[in-house]
Each structure stands twice: as C-alpha cells, then as structure tokens.
Amino acid sequence: MSGVKSLGRTLLAEGLGSALLAALVVGSGIAAQQLSDDVGLQLLENAAATAAGLFAIILMFGPVSGAHFNPVVSLTDAVLGALPWRTAAAYVLVQLLGCVAGAVLANVMFAQPAVSISNTERATGPHLLAEVVATAGLVLVIFSLARSGRASIAPGAVAAYIGAAYWFTSSTSFANPAITVGRMFSDTFAGIAPSSAPAFVVAQLAGGALGVVLVRVLYPGLTSTEAADAVVPSENSKLSLSRPSGA
C-alpha cells in the first residue's frame, strides 16, 4: 500500500511540474506578445522566464519525482535501467496531461480562449534538425551530470541549457514531446500547429536516442543507480530500482 501511495505522490509531482512548465512556456510567450512588438525581444522574454521558472520547478518537485517533466527523459531513464518501463509509461501519461492542462491554464490566465488550436507551422527541415540537436544535448547534459556525480547542479545546468537553446536552435528548442503536445492548444507566441507536432515528436525521440548513444559512449560506466538520479536525486533513489525513481 505504501508503494502505491508513493507512486501516486510521484506521479502527482510529475503532473504538477509538467503543468507549471507548460504554463511557464505558454504564459510567458503570451506576456511577451503583449509587452513588445519586437520578435527578438519577445523571444528573449520567453526564454528568460522559461529558464528561471524551470530552475525553480526542478528544485520544487525534483526530490519527489526526479523532475523529468519530459517523456524523453523518462524513456531514457527506462532504457538505462533506472526506471521500470511501466512506471515510465505512467510518467509519460501524466506529463502529457500536465502539459495540456498547463497550456489551458496559461490561456485562461491571460483572458484567452481556454483552448485555441495553434496555426503556427514549424515543421521544416532545419527546425526538425534543431529538435534532434536540442533533445540530444538535453539528454547529454542531464545524464553526464548524473554519471560524473554532479546531479546536484543539474537544476541550474538544465535551466541554463534550455535558455540558451531557445537561441542557438532554429526551432527555439521544444526538446520535449509533452510540451509539444501542450503547445498545440494555444494559438499564441509559443504555439505549434497540430500538423507540425508529429514531426517534432519524432525528431525529439530521435534526438533522445542519439543522446543515449552519446551517454553510453562518453560514460560507459553509467550504472542504473546513477541514472536514477536523472535530473536531481530523488528522495528514495537509493532504494530498490524495482520502484519508481522518485517513489
């Protein structure tokens, strides 16, 4: 029974964190549009708010769930043997639901229609390549820190990477299938058209797979216990790996 309660608490943390992340991305994008007519300044505002907010929510929920907030991170944890596949599937489900809820929440907070399907087409060759690069880099940042015993600095490193990737990638670094799905439901600065989303998700999964290869090549001694400390060490990461990483 305690295991069920722990799993429920873990999934609640992942769902809330994912919702807050989507609200950060979408809400700061809406605010940026309202505050400035300059696209470059809008992107700067969106990126800065997302990076700062991501740092905070990783600190907030990391000790409970590991602060994945991203199906690619959860699937990578499963591939590396740290997270049971059934638990990873549950993580992915709550991440998707959380990101959709967060996008809707952001819409409502800014007096937009609760659901407005985005018309912003983004699926171009350069954008998809950028998503592969952005996602592979994110996986490498997270799991290289775990392997080298520096998981405690991951909140800042992940936030810094995402903030920078807004600028060095042409796609503005979605790097997250759940965020991609959530952003379909807001026809605002951060939105993505449903017709573009599947290609983005495929590119992100490809980037995640590339990231796993790079982690294994660069850090061949990665153990499943170290992988369990993915984004930040969760409160029970030293327990049996038959349990979820943040349970």
Residue 145 lies in a domain: yes
Distance CA 229, CA 58 (A): 13
Question: Mean pLDDT across the chain, nearest whole number?
Answer: 90
Determine what percent of the chain is predicted with pLDDT higher than 70: 87
Place 149 in a pLDDT band, splitting at 50, 70 and 90.
confident
Position 247 confidence tier, pLDDT thresholds 50, 70, 90: very low
CATH number of domain containing 148: 1.20.1080.10
Over range 39-48, report the average pLDDT: 97
Q: Are 105 and 98 in contact (CB under 8 A)?
A: no
The reply to whether 236 falls in a domain is: no
Say which range, 121-135, 142-156, 157-171, 178-192, has the weakest mean pLDDT: 142-156
* Residue with the larger pLDDT of the pair 242 and 154: 154
The closest of 211, 213, 215 to 226, measured between CA atoms, is 215
Instruction: Return the pLDDT at 148.
Output: 87
Examine residue 247 and state whether it is found in any structural domain, yes or no: no
Sign of the Cα torsion 74, 75, 78, 79 reads negative
Between CA 244 and CA 246 the distance in angstroms is 6
pLDDT band at 3 (very low <50, low <70, confident <90, very high): low
| Domains in the chain, number | 1
SS3 (DSSP) at 69: coil
Q: Which domain does 221 fall in, by range?
A: 2-228
- pTM recorded for the entire structure: 0.89
Predicted confidence (pLDDT) at residue 237 exceeds the cutoff of 60 = no
State yes or no: pLDDT of 63 exceeds 50.
yes
Has residue 239 got a pLDDT over 70? Answer: no
What's residue 243's pLDDT?
Answer: 31
What is the enclosing helix (H) or strand (E) of 41? helix 39-65
In a domain, 239, yes or no: no
- Looking at residues 152-159, what average pLDDT do you find? 96
Report residue 97 as tokens. Answer: 């639901």
In three-state secondary structure terms, 202 is: helix
pLDDT of residue 147: 86
Task: State the average pLDDT over residues 46-74.
Answer: 97
What residues contact 130, with CB distance under 8 A and at least 6 apart? 169, 170, 171, 173
Average pLDDT over residues 7-14: 95
Q: What is the pLDDT of residue 184?
A: 98
Residue 242 lies in a domain: no
Each residue of 91-120: pLDDT tens digit? 999 999 999 999 999 999 999 999 999 999
pLDDT score, position 1: 52
183 belongs to a structural domain = yes
Instruction: Please check whether residue 181 lies inside any domain of the structure.
Output: yes
Structure tokens at 243: 């349990």
**Which among 188, 170, 173, 181 is positioned nearest to 29, based on CA atoms?**
188
DSSP labels, 79-120: HTTSS-HHHHHHHHHHHHHHHHHHHHHHHHHTT--S------
Question: What does the pLDDT average to over 181-204?
Answer: 98
Residue 152 structure tokens:
């405690």
CB under 8 Å, gap of 24 or more: what pairs does 167-170 form? 167/43, 167/47, 169/130, 169/131, 169/133, 169/134, 170/126, 170/127, 170/130
Residue 241 lies in a domain: no
What's the rounded mean pLDDT across residues 135-161?
A: 95
Q: What is the pLDDT of residue 240?
A: 30
**Is pLDDT at 159 greater than 70 in this prediction?**
yes
CA 191 to CA 179: how far, in whole Å? 10
Is the model's pLDDT at 16 over the cut of 80? Answer: yes
Size of the chain in residues: 247
With contact defined as beta carbons under 8 Å apart, do 6 and 247 qualify? yes
Give the distance, in angstroms, between the CA of residue 83 and the centroid of all CA atoms in the same chain.
Answer: 17
